[in-house]
Amino acid sequence: MLEAQTPFEEDKPEMLYLGLDVHGKWTTVVGFDPKTGEVVEHKRVSNEAEEIGVLLGSLAGPLYGAMEVGTNSWAMYRVLRPHFAELVVVDPARVWDRRRERGAKTDRRDALRLAELLYRGELEGVWIPDERTQDLRVLVRGKVRASRWVTKACNEIGSLLRSWGYRVEASLLSGQGRKLLQEAQLPGHSRRALELWRELLETAQEIEAELEAAVKEEAKADPVCQLLGTIPQVGPLTALVVRAEVGDVRRFRTAKALASYAGLCPRVSQSGEQCHYGKLGRWGDRWLKYALVLAANRIARGAKESRLHRLYWRMCLRHNRNDAKVAVARKLVQLMWRMLRDGRCWQELESLERVQA
């Protein structure tokens, strides 16, 4: 029988609440019928669409299910969704608190807990991206990762050269840097290590260049990216990251909600009349935060006058420059929300706010 803490209501219609603990190769399915209290349990069911479809089709429905976000969650969601009247995908960080839970952690317990929380209405589902949005996310995240690989390879090569007394005063991607690489004379294993790092750098640059070309092509054809591209210092990559990571902007009721989703809102500790704002937390979409902070950095360093540029220098009078850049990134994403909601380009939004002022 089901654990004692699970509530039952005899007047509930016949239905089955299922928790799905999804892994790379298999899924553990555990649930219960709230009317009879009967527990359904199937361990390590293959993630093959045919096999898991046969299992779910054999269960008396309608089926209501919950699963966690994972590396293969969107692919599995598309496989599972046709078999459920409702299927919720949840963020594990909003469900579990492992610091307080002292019991054993098993796939069965996790799946049953998801089913119980779904039955009680205590689960808040995340937004499900469509295949087009998921594909764009792969593109922009791949471009960011490739850029990081290039930077990593340059750092390793520079460290190796400095260890043998060479002064690396320019970027290794510049003409002066390439000349240094050609003239460097290293012994034995160090020479071979340098050759391998250079091969890795060249490969990473090729990958980065191909992905960057794809980003520019997608951004050029996308109406959302064209709209965001009217903002000063916002290029194709930033625009496409926002397009891919945000998806449908209408799912955010306010601009502050989007800023919070991007992880650009500070921690808040409030009690009575006291309220303290701390540093940024580690929550939020890290890819969106990364792109927005890079755009804020370009706005801060650029010479083109804009309201965001002025905001940066006003913030610098009271805070350090990193805090000022975060403030610019937060304001930028809030303005993006307004632009996407109203379908206005940057110039129209600027003119409208001047009139209202």
Last residue of a domain, one of 89, 120, 151: 120
For residues 50 and 6, the model is more confident at 50
The pLDDT of residue 276? 62
Half-sphere CA count of 72, side-chain side, radius 13 A: 13
b/e per residue, 19-45, with b = 16+ CB within 10 A?
A: bbbbeeebbbbbbbbbeeeebbebeeb
Q: What is the CATH number of the domain that holds 104?
A: 3.30.420
The reply to whether 255 and 293 lie within a common domain is yes
Q: Which residue has the tokens 């199937």?
A: 42
Last residue of a domain, one of 206, 221, 236: 221
Q: How confident is the model at residue 108 (pLDDT cuts 50, 70, 90)?
A: very high
Residue 320 has pLDDT above 50, yes or no: yes
The pLDDT of residue 353? 62
**Does residue 10 lie within any of the structural domains?**
no
**Does residue 9 lie within any of the structural domains?**
no
224-237 pLDDT, tens per residue? 999 999 998 899 99
The reply to whether 23 and 50 lie within a common domain is yes
What total number of domains does the chain contain? 3
**Does residue 347 lie within any of the structural domains?**
yes
Q: How confident is the model at residue 151 (pLDDT cuts 50, 70, 90)?
A: very high
Q: Name every residue whose Cβ is closer than 8 Å to that of residue 239 and which is 6 or more positions away in sequence.
A: 219, 222, 224, 225, 226, 228, 229
Find the helix or strand (DSSP H, E) in which 322 lies.
helix 321-342
The pLDDT of residue 160? 95
Domain with 307, as residue range(s), is: 226-356
The packing angle between helices 236-246 and 286-301, to 10°, is 150
Last residue of a domain, one of 166, 187, 221: 221
The reply to whether 136 and 64 lie within a common domain is no
The reply to whether 187 and 271 lie within a common domain is no
263-307 pLDDT, tens per residue? 998 766 666 666 666 667 677 899 999 999 999 999 888 767 778
The reply to whether 100 and 145 lie within a common domain is no
The pLDDT of residue 155? 95
**Does residue 232 lie within any of the structural domains?**
yes
Q: What is the mean pLDDT of the chain?
A: 88
The pLDDT of residue 354? 56
Residue 45 has pLDDT above 70, yes or no: yes
**Does residue 3 lie within any of the structural domains?**
no
